[in-house]
Amino acid sequence: MLDLIEKHIGELEMRIRARIGKLGWVRLLKPLPGVGEILGATIHLEIGDVSRFPSPQHLASYAGLTPRVISSGGKTWHGRTSPQSNHYLRWAFVEAADAILMHRKTYAGAHVIELYDRLKKHKCHGKAAVAVAHHLAESS
């Protein structure tokens, strides 16, 4: 039964790769750390025309990877990320961040690994991984 399921998954992946090859922007997204064919296609299809975002920060905000900021009396508090976002795009960037962290030996010395390690000292894995995803969103 397991062999049949693995064969079916392999056939589906081949069909997905055949269709992904027709998407031109995926070639430009694949060099990003942690982004492969499927995440590249997801990011490309969810972003659409990138020129509709005036800056990389707007794209990261659209993906729901920026924290809410509350400022009053000269003090600033960074809260949770907004639930009003493109959930598929957010998932893709966080998945890419997790892929980087799983293969950290491959990306040793990369800026995103240093960012994660610095934030992990004071915050939990989830917050540090979202910060890496935010960085990936701004660099795409």
Domain boundaries along the sequence of the chain: 2-139
Confidence band for 93, pLDDT divided at 50, 70 and 90? very high
Those residues with Cβ within 8 angstroms of residue 6's Cβ, 6 or more apart along the chain or in another chain? none
On the CB side of 51, how many CA atoms lie within 13 Å of its CA?
A: 0
Portion of the chain with pLDDT greater than 90, in percent: 31
CA distances from 107 to 8, 28, 32, 140 (A): 32, 19, 11, 17
pLDDT classification of 57: cutoffs 50, 70, 90: very high
**pTM for the model:** 0.81
Strands 67-72 and 75-81: antiparallel
For residue 41, pLDDT beyond 90: no
pLDDT tens profile 7-26: 999 998 888 878 776 666 66
